[in-house]
Structures are given as C-alpha cells and as structure tokens.
C-alpha cells in the first residue's frame, strides 16, 4: 500500500514537498505521510497507515497541537466488509480527490458538540466526503469566534484523472457551493 501511495503522490506532488514519518504509538507502529500546505491553504493533509491495514486521513492546522480535535476520515475494515482491496482502492481514490480538488472544512461549535464536515469541489458543485462530531467536554477543538468557521485548501496538484466525478464509496451528499466562496 505504501508503494501505491508513494506512486500516486509522485504523480501529483513533488517528492521534495512531502515526507514519511514512521512512529511508534501505543505499542503499534503507525506510518504517517505528511503533505505540505497548498498555496493560501488553512490546513494540510496527513495519511496514517496502521499495520492492521486500517488507514486514516486527517487535516492538520499549521502550528497546531496534534492533539487538537479536527477533521479526519477513518478507513476501517468493518466498513468495507473486511475487504482490504476495496478499502485500499477507496483510500487511494480519496487521496487523489483531496490532492487535486479544492476542499473546505466547516467547523461548528455547539453547546454540546464540535462538528467537522469536509467537502470537495466537483465542477460547479460540492460533495461532502464525510462529517463527524465530538463531545465538547471530551475533545479540545480549534477555538473559533461565533458558532462556525470555514477553512479552505486549494489543490496540491493537477487533476489528471479521466473521471471528472469519481465514485467514492464513502462520500456523502451534494451541498451548495457557498462554502467555496472566495476569501
């Protein structure tokens, strides 16, 4: 899997701009691939590869504590009927989509929950990739003024895929493009 990710990244992002970091965490070896910030981006992406085959994509705010609760997308074997090939295929498709399209993360802070929703641009539409929430009392999230904040990131590379709207199994529904308004 690491070879496939490396090949995909080499097609999209110059290798001098991303780095692989093997780390020991909780008695488990997790490999992390960190990508640079796109121009004028509020966040960057990291990919975390677990030895059991599960994977996570996370967004990272620059100069932020890594323990801060922010957007992430887990790829767990149970969600794919324990079909590792299907999980890996979807993981690679999501990586390519995130690296070659404009994305936004909407953070909402309510009385009880922090929530995060990532959407990516497809032509004149946007599609939600995923969203999740965490209990405010359990997780520290980035401080925001008001009830919500939209973070933005442009693509790191050019979309060379033949499919302008890939069928990502884990994605959500369409949303309006108001989240992609220029700064």
CA proximity to 168, closest of 109, 95, 94? 94
| Residue ranges for the chain with pLDDT beneath 70 | 14-28, 159-183
Domain count, the chain: 1
Specify the pLDDT at position 160: 61
At 150 the pLDDT is 96
For residue 102, what are the domain limits? 2-180
pLDDT at residue 171 in the model: 46
Q: Can you say whether residue 96 is alpha, beta or left, with left for phi > 0 and alpha for psi between -120 and 50 degrees?
A: alpha
Model confidence pTM above 0.95:
no
| Residue 164: φ, ψ to 5° | -70, -15
Per-residue model confidence (pLDDT) at position 43: 96
Distance, first Cα to last Cα, the chain: 37
Q: Return the pLDDT at 64.
A: 85
| pLDDT for the residue 91 | 92
Q: What is the largest CA-CA distance in the chain?
A: 45
């Amino acid at each position: 899997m690491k070879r496939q990710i490396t090949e995909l990244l080499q097609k999209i992002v110059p290798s001098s701009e991303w780095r692989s970091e093997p780390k020991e965490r909780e008695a488990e070896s997790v490999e992390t691939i960190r990508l640079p910030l796109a121009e004028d981006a509020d966040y960057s992406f990291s990919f975390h590869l677990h030895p059991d085959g599960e994977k996570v994509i996370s967004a990272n705010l620059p100069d932020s504590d890594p323990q801060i609760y922010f957007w992430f997308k887990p790829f767990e074997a149970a969600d794919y009927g324990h079909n590792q090939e299907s999980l890996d295929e979807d993981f690679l498709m999501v990586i390519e989509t995130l690296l070659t399209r404009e994305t936004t993360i909407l953070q909402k802070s309510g009385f009880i929950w922090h929530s995060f929703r990532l959407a990516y641009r497809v032509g004149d539409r946007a599609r939600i990739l995923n969203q999740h929430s965490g209990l405010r009392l359990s997780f520290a999230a980035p401080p925001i003024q008001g009830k919500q904040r939209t973070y933005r990131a442009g693509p790191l590379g050019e979309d060379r895929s033949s499919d302008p709207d890939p069928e990502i199994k884990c994605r959500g529904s369409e949303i309006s493009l108001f989240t992609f308004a220029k700064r």
